[in-house]
Amino acid sequence: MSKKTSWRTIGRGSWCALLGAMMFSACGGSDAERTSTEASQSSSPSVESEPTDRAATADGAGWYACTTEGKTCSFVGTRMVRYGADGKYAYKSATKSVPCTSDVFGDPAPGVAKTCSISSTPSPYLQDAAQYTLTFRDEFSGTTLDASKWNDHIVHVPASDADDYGVSNGFLKIWPQADSTGEFKSRILTTYQKFSQAYGYFEMEAKLPVGRGLWPAFWLLNSDSPPGEPEIDIMEAYPGDDTGYWADSNHHPIRFEASFYEKGNGQENSKNGNKPLETVDLSAGFHKYAVKWEPNKVSYYFDGKLFYSADVSMSRPMYLLVDIQYGNNNPSGNVDSTTPLGPDNSLQVNYIRAWQLK
């Protein structure tokens, strides 16, 4: 079994167990909160955003006017679209655009000029909007991390003082930066005791950092009653890999991994599973990383497309985590002089959203 294969079978939580106290620094967090200058977006695909005209055209609570009958209603992402007039409406889940016509929706109000409106709440990308209720969202539209939603370090781990994350211009950024002692300590943002949920759909739109030693991730965890902490890893990447498997020769991530641990990583009798997915350069643009968690199944999506599912029952609520960690024994290796530091090499997050299943 190759080194990377044996590593994959061990996974995240086992490393924390194996490394023990060492991981208290490797998994550590801190409380510095800084804003950053926005890197150029010119080379990146457009990111999902709210309608820009919502203030001017809001059509009652929760619906934004889109267009009139016979025209095409266009928007970003997947939304529920309402078609009709005079309180008589037909509804349809659509992605990016939909013709505002009776041919598409049926005719809820014959003989009346109708319009299309889009729901004010986003839906899981490329999924049926009618099946989900939005329960959590952070679009990172402020200038600091929203402390009502996020903790700046994982529970039970001391905070470091590194200047290594910030919120500005619609993005959360987490970047590699040493703390005041010169150590690279993990920055793990969590919704522990602020938001947790059993089942649902969880989605992050982000682009990944590059370079040796970095271990960016988006995951779910229940640490309320250990041992046997169930875990769903939606995205883990290893841009520092030198074998060509997880990263290209410039240490840009070209693959990421999804996994789950029914009763906790490294626990006996835990049903586990994982799936690496080969991709384009994940540092070159924004992509949507998501999981649909049902009572007896987990299904993983990349840019709205299913790439892995497994039958597993996990019923304990989990909270959200987004981070860069620095693992000494994972394929990304160690930070060295080639690793780009600072805000220009960030895990850059446009949004994190969660929905409950209807």
Q: In angstroms, rounded to a whole number, what is the distance separating the alpha carbons of residues 221 and 232?
A: 7
Q: Shortest approach of Ca ion to residue 351 CB, angstroms?
A: 5
Closer CB to Ca ion, residue 204 or residue 324? 204
Closer CB to Ca ion, residue 139 or residue 229? 139
Contact region for Ca ion (CB under 5 A) — 114-122, 166-174, 195-203, 214-222?
A: 166-174
Contact region for Ca ion (CB under 5 A) — 78-86, 157-165, 167-175, 323-331?
A: 167-175
Helix/strand/coil for 89:
strand
Q: Give the Cβ contact number of residue 274 at 10 Å.
A: 18
Q: Shortest approach of Ca ion to residue 248 CB, angstroms?
A: 27
Q: How far apart are the first and last CA of the chain?
A: 43
Q: In angstroms, rounded to a whole number, what is the distance separating the alpha carbons of residues 157 and 25?
A: 8
Closer CB to Ca ion, residue 286 or residue 355? 286
Closer CB to Ca ion, residue 174 or residue 221? 174
Q: In angstroms, rounded to a whole number, what is the distance separating the alpha carbons of residues 207 and 272?
A: 27
Q: In angstroms, rounded to a whole number, what is the distance separating the alpha carbons of residues 65 and 115?
A: 8
Closer CB to Ca ion, residue 139 or residue 203? 139
Going residue by residue from 86 to 125, which x/- string records binding to Ca ion, judged by CB under 5 A? ----------------------------------------
Contact region for Ca ion (CB under 5 A) — 29-37, 55-63, 107-115, 346-354?
A: 346-354
Contact assessment for residue 234 and residue 219, using Cβ atoms and an 8 Å cutoff = yes
Map the footprint of Ca ion across residues 278-297, applying CB under 5 A.
none
Residue with tokens 């006996």, as numbered in its chain: 268
Question: Total residues contacting Ca ion (rule CB under 5 A)?
Answer: 5
Q: Shortest approach of Ca ion to residue 204 CB, angstroms?
A: 11
Please tell me whether residue 139 binds Ca ion under the rule CB under 5 A.
yes
Q: Shortest approach of Ca ion to residue 125 CB, angstroms?
A: 14
CA 169 to chain centre: 18
Which H helix or E strand runs over 3? helix 3-19
Q: Shortest approach of Ca ion to residue 314 CB, angstroms?
A: 29
Which H helix or E strand runs over 25? helix 22-26
Binding residue (CB under 5 A) for Ca ion from 99, 155, 170, 310: 170
Contact region for Ca ion (CB under 5 A) — 20-28, 118-126, 160-168, 170-178?
A: 170-178
Which tokens sit at 154? 């994982």
How many residues in the chain? 358
Q: What are the residues whose beta carbons fall under 8 Å from the beta carbon of 179, sequence distance 6 or more? A: 30, 160, 161, 162, 185
Interface residues with Ca ion (CB under 5 A) are 139-140, 170, 350-351
